[in-house]
Structure 1
């Protein structure tokens, strides 16, 4: 099966479930995500960040994704640039074959964000590529993106409508209380569902996106710490909150931190319990399996997209 447009995925999902957008950085993570999608019969979006392109090189990632398309011919798969920070980067991945890009102008003044996002849309749409914009800022760290609580701004519903109308974006990442990284909340977790409901009301049927949506699964944190990590006070978005958001207009949920935790905790466990082991396959293999199990859990119990392929 060729790449499937997220627009098709979102149209089927709206108000019922969400598509998981999982960040991939290497072969094992990609394989784990694809095996989960195959077993759960679920559509999936493979996200590649600027950092992943720098780490693995775009050409290697593209070839891995081509292999995934052959390996899972009946699973709807999209390839998405996560947090593109410039028109040039978006253009480069569009020209390379990505069928979805996110242009993140959320750090810019509103008018500059509109201008930049519109520029990407005007290049992408004639080439059959969909565009995700962002309005509002999230607390936390996402590779090169650093925002503290004082700078964080929730998405204004009025501005959201204006932004969509003026830019022509196909989906919109909104800020309702999630954050990037493993330390999402200092106190009790809370998402602004009233704000989400108002945005969805003003943009009926329009796909909304939730960034920073890892739950920072505590069993993974505990396992990592047991075998030498120092992850203290990490707290994510409760899974029941994410599930609620998926039936209120959130069609795409970004998940990265939970994959990193699963991967690293498993590698730590193998190396700590089998110190004589030096074959990378012996610890990367179990880490790949851990990725698969986390993604299956998300698809089945959080996103509700199992069986939708």
Structure 2
């Protein structure tokens, strides 16, 4: 039976029905990562949320990604959501929607509040008739994501007042918040502002998104989930593990010439 891809609201509902309080959203950097994503979802009896950066989508192709993810979701019987991550180009978001992505993020966090609200609302209005969910972002999260960097001095934490207004005026399905995490590799422990997180959650009433999940401790992550986080982004860890494992495997199998033998080695 043909399986459609799910939007974020539907995939979160499935996760919660299976006693998961939040869903991980994992960055796909290359097609070879896909089988491992689905295998892990099957083993944990979890629905799957895969997110794609604009750079990866343009490199691999929006339609190819949709077809590949949908095909595996159907064959492996895993409820799956395909999400476009951190995109500030509305035309690229429309391309993703047309291709079949079921969730998108408009990132206007670099803009002033008025312009961020206006642009995000445009995306929401494009998405609603297609049953596509929209993630917005308020506040500047530090670190580097898809070639875009935010310096420490430019980090801007999400305020309760702005978050409430943003959600009310845009009607986003979920909100990415800046509460102390950083994109990329950590040099120390993430310092999540738990009180701020609780207050933003209470004021907005929408699922909150934690970006920069790689460097957050298990204890902090569990606490953040009780405080309103329903989606946790993990990207750097995926990339680091993939590159390190490739280096190790290729080093051990330098004489191997069959790609399938290398990638299916189980090492």
Per the TM superposition, whether the score is higher than 0.5 is yes
- What's the counterpart of residue 281 of structure 1? 260
What is the CA deviation profile of residues 241-268 of structure 1, one whole-angstrom value per residue up to 9, with x for unaligned ones?
1122122211111111111111111111
1:114 and 2:117 aligned: yes
Q: Verify the 8 A CA contact 2:63 2:100 in the aligned structure 1.
A: no
Report deviation, 1:187: 4.2
Alignment RMSD (CA, Å): 1.9
- What's the counterpart of residue 88 of structure 2? 85
- What's the counterpart of residue 31 of structure 1? 35
Matching of residues 256-267 of structure 1 within 5 Å: 256-267=235-246
State the distance in 1 between where 2:227 and 2:247 align. Answer: 38
Report deviation, 1:16: 5.7
Matching of residues 47-58 of structure 1 within 5 Å: 47-58=51-62
Q: Verify the 8 A CA contact 1:13 1:251 in the aligned structure 2.
A: no
State the distance in 2 between where 1:39 and 1:240 align. Answer: 23
Aligned to 2:153, the other structure's residue is in SS state coil
What is the CA deviation profile of residues 10-31 of structure 1, one whole-angstrom value per residue up to 9, with x for unaligned ones?
3464996211111113222111
Q: Verify the 8 A CA contact 2:26 2:49 in the aligned structure 1.
A: yes
- Structure 1 unmatched ranges of 5 or more: 215-235, 291-309
CA gap 1:66/1:10 in 2 versus in 1, 3 angstroms: closer
CA gap 1:283/1:238 in 2 versus in 1, 3 angstroms: farther
What is the CA deviation profile of residues 77-130 of structure 1, one whole-angstrom value per residue up to 9, with x for unaligned ones?
111110111211111111111111000000001100001000000111011111
Aligned to 1:271, the other structure's residue is in SS state helix
- Structure 2 unmatched ranges of 5 or more: none
- What's the counterpart of residue 161 of structure 2? 158
Matching of residues 167-182 of structure 1 within 5 Å: 167-182=170-185
- What's the counterpart of residue 69 of structure 1? 73
- 2:6 equivalent among 4, 7, 19: 4
Aligned residues: 263
State the distance in 2 between where 1:107 and 1:60 align. Answer: 30
Q: Verify the 8 A CA contact 2:66 2:82 in the aligned structure 1.
A: no
Report deviation, 1:193: 0.7
State the structure with bigger RCO (CA 8 A, min sep 6), 1 or 2: 1
Give the TM-score, by structure 2 length. 0.92
Report deviation, 1:269: 1.1
